[in-house]
Structure 1
Amino acid sequence: MTAYNKDGIDYMFHCRTRQVLAAFVLFLLLTIPVLAEPIYEHSELQWLAPGLTLETIQRYLPDGWQEIYVLSARLDLPWIRADALLGDDVLTSPQSLVDMAQEAKAAAAINGDFFFIQGTKAPVGLTIAGGEVIKGPSPRYPRPTIAFQGDRASIGLWSIRGQITGGGRSYPLYGYNEGILPDDGIVLYDHRWGTAAPGGPVEVVIAAGKVKEVRVQGPPAPILPETLVLTGKGDGARFLAGLRVGQEIELSWEFTPPLTGIQAGVTGYPLLIEEGQPTGEEPAFLKGRHPRTAVGLDRSGKILTMVVVDGRSPFSRGMTLAELTDFLLERDVWTALNLDGGGSSTLVARRPGEAEASLINRPPGGVRPVPNSLALFLPAPREEIGRLHLETCYPREELGDPYRLREEKVPVALGGSRSFKAAGLDPFGNPLPLRPGDLTWSVIPEGAGYFREPGVFVGQRPGSALIEAACETEKGRVRAFLPVSIRGPAVRLTVEPRGISLIPGGKAPIQVTAWDGEGYPALLEAGDYRWESDLGRIEDGVFIAGGQVGGGTLQVSFADLTLAVPVSIGEHLLSLAAFAPSEGWKAEGYPSGMEAAVFYGSPVESSPGEGRSVALSYAFIDSYPTRAAYLLPAQPILLPPHTLELGLWVWGDGSGNWLRGQIRDGSGIARPVDFAQRVDWTGWRWVTASIPGDLQPPLSLERIYLVTIRPEERTAGTLYLAGLSAIHGAPAPAGPRTEAPPLRSGEEDQGGFRFLIFGDSKLEVGVESSNRRIFRRLIAQAREEGADFALITGDVVAFPEDRHFRSAKRELSVLRMDYYVAPGNHDIGLDGEGTFRHHFGPTYQSFTYQDSLFILLNTARGGIALSDPSQWAWLKEQLASSDARNVFIVMHRPPFDPRPGENQGFLDRREGALFNELLIQHREKTGQQIWVIAGHIHTFWTEMRSGIRHLISAGGGAALHVPEEAGGFHHYVLVHVGPDGVGYEVKKVQP
């Protein structure tokens, strides 16, 4: 979270949240013409300079998430200037947008035009940079261009017409620095194209207005700053072949309309909005949902909107062109143009306090080099400090509850510390250096805590507070504020990872979190806790294994709490692949068409490992900057738990190329790993690739690949691979909790009411299994509790068939009380909702009993939206319209899985975090007590999370998932609701 100060104390950081879950204070209802109405929308508006802002928008729709980034700039302000950038300052050398912007010292930039990705790499259309036409419009692909002139911009269509005269003859000029040489055409190239012309049947080199050289069927002509090259084909080639060295050449061309006074221009396609109306254009090659980049202008042409939409990832599904158009229309854009999207969609910006622009969005597959971009510059001279930028030293998402979507206040443990940093800015957003003595630190109100050292705050009193950083300038005092939440006294600790498994000398980041009695967490900084271990040490929050092999614990202490973390130091090798033909390995080249092949064999009589090897041959002969040869298994290879490294025997060819692998984790995130930065050896060598410690298991290996990112290098060869293995540590034991779940909470009041919770029996008709025996005992025992009704967390039956439901209902009739069932995945199967409804009623429903609201949701298919997205709006309505004291929400699949390394919660973890965030916000607004009751994971478990009681009861007869000491026993839960609160008692059922 970031905050800014202007003229005292008002925030320059703006946060807006918009949800169909309108119980939130900040949630607004949004109507979108084409897009499905969002379940949730949150935006953060960040000031970059006067008249320049960056907005980050996160949306959750019934069919997935969207992450959208919007730069908004006022072109009529003299300190904001737009210009085009070129990769390495030429048209045919694509470059990372990050490098492009940093080298040019741009404040922000987005990728630009489509380009010939498998050919010349040049952009397709008109490019103007620094007031100079770098490339003419394409005659073959006439496309709109956004052009900047004076204090405004416009989007229009330009064309080129030219003529070449020499030797008493004339011929039409087809194009200028054009990527396509047509039949019978002539194209003019200068040094802004690149170091050499693209080549053609006949080329003429011109210097000082005269023919310097005529080249027929030769290699591409080099281009120097003082030379031009004419390239011809067909009749154009014959015209050029008739020219003689020394002849004077006259070149003339004109653009329609004229380009006089235009400072910058970048081309795109198609035009999305014209005079406030959607054009409806959607070329076939742009159909579907993908990452997108677009620019738009208001009616005056003075307000520029630059949009990048992420896609092709679990974080963002992308947009269709129609969705992109509607998004721009929402923002009152009068005219808009689509730019290159897909893997090219990139946005960089210089965030407040940063010296240079950095990557803002998350391009799929990493940052793709692009030939041109549209950049914004802040040419104002630096002045004295006018603002302060204040932020935490740790990423915000690591500080609090990982199962919350976001927390507006920075969490601080009582007695723990939080480190902050401040940066000075002049009135135009330029970063200015600050010395430690320039700042004073304080907290409002006094007594909430103190600063142990400059910028390091220690919480002393639970509640909300403001951190203030201030400095004195010639014009007065400049201040910035950041809100914090100081937690209550810590009642438990957690450590991630819950178990440490390393090879000797290995390293693992350690995160220690203190939880207060209401379940609100706060990350402890390394200086807050004490530690003790004979197997290693902690430095700056990183556990470093010693040289001793064995097992033991790491003792972590904070306040009066101590937690023992299992530690295992050792090394184990597991073969992952034999590289046999039966395993179905295949090869692919990148870009498409790049040569890559696989065959089985060895360069010598035998191979290391299991004696087999596979060969990956490649030919990186194209000049595209990134070229790769992929070796792909038939199916991704699942890695064993606690994999620390991958090992591989490689017969090197001395090519100097980069050898990598790609790992995908349990959340769908792909991450490259490095076997060797350069294959600069020949013969066999054992290489290893370290596995990042922040990946969510289970992990799988998707590919091994050779890659080069140097366009000047052209290599071809063969690598032999053998003995692919996983290097993993001994498993470090860790259950779903470090202590047994509490079986009782609260004393039962006089009055009120009682209800039962149980689930996951998975009954089958005609099968006298242990499931049925245990379930009958549970029903008989629970009937004697005198409860008012029962809540069943799903999976009553094993298969969604009438006969199983009828049999289960006969068993349940013994309860002699009303019961309500949340559907489980076994209850509905592939298409069994109708059968479920026939026997148990709606798949989601609610009822009120005395002073409590009960909501049953359908999460059987892996989440709320996956099961039935209409539940989100209904859930919001139920919460907003209820004044009940208590709210109990019942479902089958829980929002998150409490077991380490498992994911039987919502399949979309961010939906689970969104659900939790809704309830936390609702509780903080209304004061209602909220319980989330689930099944699916065959255990008993409960925990307070940020003020919400989460409880899993799934011990109704089916086989158990965890050991008994961690909650793995058959049971039901008796809940008592009284005037003084809600309590529960777990009743075990003997198998």
Structure 2
Amino acid sequence: MTPSQGRSHTRRASLTLLTALGTLAGAALTGAAPAGAATGTTIAAGVVYRQYDLTAGAGVTHVHVLAVDLTNTRVRLGLLHAGKVASRATITQQATAQKAVAGVNGDFFNITETQHPGVAATGASVGPAIADGRVLKAAVPTGQRFGPELPPGTDTDDVLGGSADGRARLDSLALTGTVTSLGRRLPLRGLNQYALAENSVGAYTSDWGGVSRARAACGTDSERAAPCSTRTYEVTVKQGRVVSASATPGSGAIAAGTTVLVGREAGAQHLKTLVKGDRVAVRYGLAAASQRAYRFALGGYPVLTGGKPLPGLDTRTSAVRTAVGIANGGQRVLLFAVDGAPAYRSGLTIAEVAAALKSLGATEGFSLDGGGSSTLVARAPGAAKVSVRNHPSDGTERAVPNGIGVFTQ
């Protein structure tokens, strides 16, 4: 058997197996909802799982969808996370630890640091993150993000979140904060981020974890791979006073009630004026463009707004994807993941993802991390824990920093 025949044989076998399992085949990417998409398996009251085939530009692919009815007061969405910003775990592990009934992987993240020898990747996500109303982190500069090229007009502040009224929404969350010391007030430009803006000061709290903060001073606002800055300084503040300082960013767990300030270039020069015992006040928050309060939020980028695909979406690169659709004014959410099995790994373009979400009734759509990260989990009826429903393209689940969890009472 030749390699091409082997691939064809695998593809036919996979198609046969999925059809035997009740796969819904042949859905188009535009127009009415895909054939059979109205049927599925009830995971819990208000949560339905379904899978079906889509014929896309690169061939037939297979998708998995969780439809979540947020009008059901016993159902909510929340942030899955690995415990610390700079840490990773599989979505199965995160969902099990947090007792979610279903979920998908989340934001793009700092997965590698091949451009900066000696600097470890942090595993921290790109965009803002809020869990249970608590701000965990802010977004890295757009030029420092990992992931595909962003559509025009979008940036790393873009989020999908659950607002205080229980609805899912697309929004933008910008960091607001100050560092006040010696009668001077300096803008805070970072919070638990793997990359800081040039000439800035960022804050790291116990939510960061113990991973080295050295990556914070690498790259520039426009080039992720640019060399690390040699002009750095770090100050540790405990109970409002400076307790220590260092010429380079450090590592190790940060105690509750302690804040580590990291500065680069002009920000480092400002921190160098502080000495042990000086009073320092650090304040921060995330301000929504809509001025709404969010119970949870995570980063990614919008692909569909007002029922229309964003201009400039990529139509050439097909890949395994994870995305979220929002319908019925935020009262219905569609968690969407492409299967990574060899028969379907050609996947979808971002433009096709937007069309697929629209065909399911979404008016807003949001792209999350894809490729080997794409994972959708859900409990089987009667099961105590979630299981993976798609086939991750790495062959096993990838550890990721966060995701979207479905929780029921």
Same-fold call, TM cutoff 0.5: yes
* Runs (4+) off by over 2 Å: 14-19, 30-34, 40-44, 58-65, 137-143, 217-222, 252-261, 280-283
Alignment of 1:834-873 (within 5 A): none
1:290 is matched with 319
Paired residues for 1:135-534 under 5 Å: 135-140=137-142, 141-149=155-163, 150-199=165-214, 201-217=232-248, 219-220=250-251, 222-257=253-288, 261-269=293-301, 271-282=302-313, 288-311=317-340, 313-365=342-394, 366-379=396-409
Query: SS of 1:194's equivalent?
Result: coil
Query: What TM-score do the two structures reach when normalised by structure 2?
Result: 0.79
How far 1:225 moved relative to its partner? 2.0
SS at match of 2:245: strand
Conservation of the 8 A alpha-carbon contact between 2:79 and 2:297: yes
Does 1 or 2 have the higher relative contact order (CA < 8 Å, sep 6+)?
2
Deviation at residue 282 of structure 1 after TM alignment: 3.0
Question: Deviation digits for residues 559-591 of structure 1, max 9, x if unmatched?
Answer: xxxxxxxxxxxxxxxxxxxxxxxxxxxxxxxxx
Q: Give the AA of the match of 1:146.
A: L
3-state SS of 1:77 partner? coil
Look up the equivalent residue of 2:161 and give its one-letter code: A
Report how far residue 346 of structure 1 moved. Answer: 0.4
Q: Secondary structure at the match of 1:236?
A: helix
Answer whether contact 2:65 2:335 (CA < 8 A) is retained.
yes
- Note the residue ranges of structure 2 that are not aligned, 5 or more in a row: 1-20, 113-120, 143-154, 218-231
Q: Distance in 1 between matches of 2:399 and 2:209?
A: 16
2:310 aligned partner, one-letter code: T
Describe the shift of the 1:218–1:311 C-alpha distance in structure 2 as closer, same or farther (beyond 3 A).
Answer: closer
Aligned residue pair count: 349
Any stretches of 5+ residues in structure 1 without a counterpart?
1-13, 20-29, 380-991
Q: Which amino acid aligns with 1:91?
A: V
Q: Partner of 1:109 in structure 2?
A: 103
Post-superposition offset of 1:315: 3.8
Contact 2:213 2:250 in 1 (8 A): no
- Contact 2:58–2:347 (8 Å) recurs in 1: no
Alpha carbons of structure 1 residues 63 and 120: separation in structure 2 relative to 1, 3 Å: closer
**Cα offset, 1:376, TM superposition:** 0.7
**Aligned AA for 1:364?**
S
* Superimposed CA distance per residue, residues 647-686 of structure 1 (whole angstroms, 9 cap, x where no aligned partner): xxxxxxxxxxxxxxxxxxxxxxxxxxxxxxxxxxxxxxxx
1-side partners of 2:308 and 2:196: how far apart? 36
Provide the rounded CA distance (Å) in 1 between the counterparts of 2:249 and 2:135.
29
Query: CA offsets, 1:721-749, max 9 Å, x none?
Result: xxxxxxxxxxxxxxxxxxxxxxxxxxxxx
Contact 2:160 2:297 in 1 (8 A): yes
- C-alpha distance in structure 1 between counterparts of 2:236 and 2:212, whole Å: 10
Residue 74 (structure 1) aligns with: 69
**Residue 206 of structure 1: CA displacement?**
1.1
- Residues 63 and 176 of structure 1: CA distance in aligned 2, closer, same or farther (over 3 Å): closer
Q: Is the 8 A contact 2:135 2:285 kept in 1?
A: no
The structure-2 alpha-carbon separation of the partners of 1:305 and 1:31, relative to structure 1 and needing over 3 Å to count, comes to closer
Q: Distance in 2 between matches of 1:60 and 1:217?
A: 53
Task: Rate the CA distance shift 1:69–1:188 in 2: closer, same or farther, 3 A.
Answer: same
Structure with the greater alpha carbon radius of gyration:
1
DSSP-derived class of the 1:300 partner: helix
| Structure 1 residue 198 displacement after superposition | 0.6
Which residue in 2 is equivalent to 1:122? 124
Is the partner of 2:319 in helix, strand or coil? coil
Task: Pick closer, same or farther for the CA change 1:98–1:233 going to 2, 3 Å.
Answer: same
How much has 1:108 moved relative to structure 2?
0.5
Q: 1:235 is matched by which residue type in structure 2?
A: A
SS in 1 for 2:281: strand
2:16 match: none
2:210–2:251 contact (8 Å) kept in structure 1: no
Call closer, same or farther: CA 1:312–1:208 in 2, change over 3 Å.
same
Written as runs of structure 1 = structure 2, the 5 A alignment for 1:502-901 is: none
